[in-house]
Structure 1
């Protein structure tokens, strides 16, 4: 099968899944476009197994092995959700006692805000952003709760996040991505500053009131932005790599958030998008949500977004290519000392990171060899163009 044939088949499958989600199932449900394993893998990538499995009428019309496979996965999601919720609700009081105000982003926040059942919003981790002054103390609290670093960070300056993981008593894997900025690129860190989001945040009452989540308008802006950041970037789900800019669960997040937005909220969204240089990004994401997930996009909002200039700063950054983004991140790093540190960590990341990222398991190699391997791979990447045609 050629690449174009595969792409056409995946596009047909994605359209098939989208139609099922919008309660407009296509003809030939008993004969899906892919074999059972490939179809379930694609549905799992899109993050909508649970939502489809909830539709009893749809399950009755699908081949038995497809319906059974989806229902089995959905039960696994529900079991994981119970365990993950338990970990987070135990963590929350200790963070609060330390005076830390953790802001929960993306999947976990939306699971407990706009979905009827949190398990219907699967995710591989929980994203938590805290004030920079609280970053180290939050790491200590995570360690006290049995979490350990999932992998070594690339440096203290070039990286503003780290992942902590834990396997619970049932063998379930839990990951918390801890951030001190909402974007690992220094040039984009100011688009959604923690202090600004915190000022408009509200308690995540569905999970634990000591945990915070962005306001609805900020949540929609962030959902649009998050989808854009992953364009042309493969995502691995259950061990399989997928490439699609229109991951359906991200688009459904926008549909679910939109149900709670008033006309005034939409007006505020346009104003903030203009201030942040996100008009074009929001246009691409919201139109995709309309076309693929049935978002009711108000006409005045669409008209305002269509007036977006083509060269908003985030767009320029992501189109700049690896070398251009490197220079932009350097320019956005404050202070001469920090900039020198940024250059040093970019050229010579910590040894632990190099061994994890560029070494071979069970085969010790000299550190200089790993740096040469990284440099060789990076030469081609530096010449690549960036991100999107939005």
Structure 2
């Protein structure tokens, strides 16, 4: 299993938070201002501050914690609740407009989980809304988003680099709203996306009544496959992200034995069982996910079932190098492998401007050179 403590969380903070999420009554360990700030930073960076406060309200697990820390958590939770209200109103409007144009999106990741897994508004912080659409409707959706006031952050950059177009707009109360429109399920792997295409995901999709008649999301099995693989695909660049593990924790606890069995066989078939097993066992280590003894043993014995466990490599350069190798190895032809590396090394200019925050396009050649030399550095040092 991946070593969680190497990714910006110290052992004392990890032990403290794990105890909290087990529901233990946790006495605050001392009066160190530095430790208090570290706890707050981890909760904020990993987007679990509202969750911890919710656990406090439910089970009084934070007895004797510093009042300043609890006040900071309440402030974050309030901000997230306000953001959620603004986002919900806008999301319903966008989905309704899409329905009028014959566009049937599938909500994925954080927004979908917020309305299907979490018990209260504002407990699932996120930076954007992810919508999967039929590939042939990409231009129609882009046109619609611009009509209703959204600006595109970057256009399509090729299926191997980024299969999404991102849009943003300033909304009510100063909340900027972001939509990522995906024409395939994953940016991390074209073979993964081919195995979970929009038509078959739509056949199994389930409604989200709270968001209106044009709101649907992935089935539990598909959602868990995606959540586990999404975590693996981003691990080299971002390390562990606890809110993603909590999504997995809630998904697993809400699934039937038949669904878990179907998930296991599908993950094996897609050759991502190693990464999926690591994700679920990591969620269990953090959040005490309830797993049957038999299922837990199956996961543990499957950690090395395939090469996908290589996505969960400690060390950023090593992880990036192994991810690049895995992506190329999954592709069927040398032509596709060439396209993969070409798109990653030489993206469209607008993508580069967005990715690096370039203010003056005259500096574009420098950033292309930087991207190329970084790839060489990863190849040598990773």
Shift of 1:220: 2.1
State the 1:327 CA deviation. Answer: 3.7
- Report how far residue 171 of structure 1 moved: 1.1
TM superposition shift of 1:349: 2.6
Match of 1:53 in 2: 53
Query: In structure 1, how many angstroms separate the alpha carbons of the residues matched to 2:341 and 2:236?
Result: 27
Aligned match of 1:150: 153
Deviation per CA, 1:303-360: give whole Å up to 9, x if none.
Answer: 3333437362544678763653564476469xx6x88766654453322333444574
* 2:376 counterpart residue number: 379
Contact 1:289 1:295 in 2 (8 A): yes
**TM (normalized to structure 2)?**
0.84
* Offset at residue 178 of structure 1 (A): 1.2
Once the two structures are superposed, residues 273-301 of structure 1 have per-residue CA deviations (whole angstroms, 9 ceiling, x without a partner) of 22222322222111112121010011222
Counterpart of 2:68 in structure 1 is 65
Return the alpha-carbon distance in structure 1 between the equivalents of residues 368 and 15 of structure 2: 44
Q: Hey, what does 2:349 align to over in structure 1? A: 351
Distance in 2 (alpha carbons) for counterparts of 1:52 and 1:139: 38
**Equivalent residues in 2 for 1:65-144 (5 A)?**
65-144=68-147
Higher helix share: 2
State the distance in 1 between where 2:160 and 2:282 align.
Answer: 35
Residue of 276, 281, 300 corresponding to 1:287: 281
The 5 Å alignment of 1:210-359 reads 210-234=214-238, 243=239, 245=240, 247-308=241-302, 310=304, 312=306, 314-315=308-309, 321=322, 324-325=325-326, 327-328=328-329, 331=332, 345-358=343-356
RMSD in angstroms over aligned alpha carbons? Answer: 3.0
Between 1:181-190 and 1:366-375, the stretch displaced more is 366-375
Q: Matched residue of 2:237: which SS?
A: coil
Unaligned runs of 5+ in 2: 313-318
The alpha-carbon distance between structure 1 residues 281 and 348, as it changes in their structure 2 partners (threshold 3 A), is: closer
Shift of 1:92: 0.8
Give the paired residue count: 367
Of 6-15 and 371-380, the range deviating more from structure 2: 6-15
Comparing 84-93 and 159-168, the one that deviates more:
159-168
- Structure 1's unaligned 5+ residue stretches are 235-242, 386-390
- Report the Cα offset of residue 102 of structure 1: 0.6
Match of residue 315 from structure 2: none
Structure 1 residues 216 and 311: CA distance shift in structure 2, 3 A: closer
Q: Mapping of 1:20-35 within 5 angstroms?
A: 20-28=20-28, 31=31, 34-35=34-35
SS in 2 for 1:175: strand
**Which of 259-268 and 289-298 deviates more?**
259-268
Give the stretch that moved more between structures: 258-267 or 281-290. Answer: 258-267
**1: CA distance, partners of 2:350 / 2:292:** 50
By how many angstroms is 1:69 displaced? 0.5
| Partners of 1:9 and 1:115 in 2: CA distance | 24
Per-residue CA deviation, residues 153-175 of structure 1 (Å, 9 max, x unaligned), is 54476431121111113211211
Q: Offset of 1:148 from its aligned partner?
A: 1.1
**Distance in structure 1 (CA, Å) of the matches to 2:11 and 2:33:** 10
8 Å Cα contact 1:202/1:212 also seen in 2: yes
